[in-house]
Amino acid sequence: MVYSLTYRRPPHVDHRTPSLASEKTGQSVGGSTLGGCQDSPVSIGIPEALSFDRIIDGGTCPPCTTRDFMNYLIYIEHAAENLQFFLWFKDYAKRFHLLPENERKLAPEWTTEQVEAQALAMKDTSAPMKTISPDTAAVFKGTDFSNPKITVVESGKGNPFNTPPLTPNSGERESIAPSEYPWSDSGSTLPGPFKAHHDKKAAGAFDAADVKLQPFTVQPFREEISRVIAIYIADGAPRQLNLSSKERAALLHALAVTTHPTAFRQIIHTVEWALRHQAHPNFIRWTICNGNRPRVIFARGLGIAGIVGGTLAAILIVLSNAGRGWRVLSAIGFMIGVATLVAAWKGMCVVLHGMHHRHLRPWELFAEDDDASSALEMKKDSFDSLGSSNSYEDQPWVAKYEKRNIIRKIFDREVWIQEPALRQIQDTIFLQAVLGSVIITAVCVGIFVALPKGNYY
């Protein structure tokens, strides 16, 4: 079974900051906030079986699972923080709503009216306030140059807006204190030094956003929120999200008031938009390729060689005194060459496709050779929502794969493709390549058959 012969792969989506002003806001926080991906033009080429929600909910097989999606974002796009934050928020919203009602009331919902009021307040205070000295103010007093909005700074005192606030240590901000509620199923918490580091970084983020109100320590999951701020929100965080300064400030103002999931309303819209409309289509497009880059380039070379061979064979037969029927033999080279080239141009190797195989990814290739504990640690870190940065340059497989010679890369180990929807997409592309080669071959052979004999030999 194949899809329509007019099927096209998902187009590659360039990474850019999404504009939420042009997007419809979601219906709820904690569920699918932006609606299905099928309503978007970038969903072209993505069947329902490989939709974003299906992958996140674990309804797909390798190589289209959530694990594969995470690996793609880490090793190919280098932007796994969006998915890691999205998975954390999805679990956080679920855990929050499972709390007893009396505990949930400690963290009130952050309403849309509060969001709009906060945005308006930030807009009013976005322009820097002008300051002048008392002597200058006395000169301009009573003239047209006098401005009541200008602030007069007393002489001998520095301008408080010119001096960045110091980042308080953990002892200066008692409001960011450990919560009595655990942030994981095991109830584990970070060791003292790590916790103090996260508290200090979160406190610095609040001060940088000019948040005067101290967070309420009695609210549930306050300690976890501090870690999230230190890992995803603060400037220089190990998994810093791509947020504008206004979005970051608005989020920190909301988190200073409540730990309710609705405080992340605008941010989760931004993150989910990027996942659904950028990362997910690019992931499906990349997964369709069944061979690594050296293998695909090698297949393209074989395709070009087949076309050149068919052309040379046709020319030699035309220049001879052989009958016109012999010129049809050149169709073999054209047929194989065009089909191989068209499939390889879409990232597929026809040999691998014949067995429904794919090459192992470089990080999968050495998983069996590496120590089992280190491989398990690598998988655990990528899905640890409150873990460290997503750097992988020091992982053992990187150096090993770079030392691998080009021949071994072309003929690397293979594995069977388990996902049926992906096999159907590849079957469709292969059928398109075969039909295209039949048409092109018929035209080329027809031209050579129509030429008169050369009778040179």
Q: Which residues contact 434 (CB under 8 A, 6 or more apart)?
A: 339
Q: Which residues contact 327 (CB under 8 A, 6 or more apart)?
A: 314, 317, 318, 445, 448, 449
Place of tokens 């470089």: 362
**pLDDT band for position 213 (cuts 50, 70, 90):** low
In 3D space, the residue among 302, 297, 292, 315 whose CA is nearest the CA of residue 409 turns out to be 292
**pLDDT band for position 16 (cuts 50, 70, 90):** low
CB atoms within 10 A of CB 179: 19
Distance between start and end Cα atoms, the chain: 50
Which pLDDT tens digit goes with each residue over 257-266?
899 999 999 8
- Give the helix ranges, DSSP H, for 109-228: 112-124, 134-140, 192-208, 222-228
Cis peptide before 134 (omega within 30 of 0): no
DSSP state letters, 27-82: S-SSS-SS--GGGSGGGTT--GGG-HHHHHTT---TTSSHHHHHHHHHHTSS-THH
What is the C-alpha separation between 309 and 344, in angstroms, rounded? 18
- 381 vs 292, which has greater pLDDT? 292
Q: Kindly state the average pLDDT of the residues 108-119.
A: 77
CB distance 181 to 220 below 8 Å: yes
Least trusted range by pLDDT, from 149-153, 361-365, 399-403: 149-153
- 40 vs 416, which has greater pLDDT? 416
By CB atoms closer than 10 A (0-12, 13-18, 19+), residue 78 is: exposed
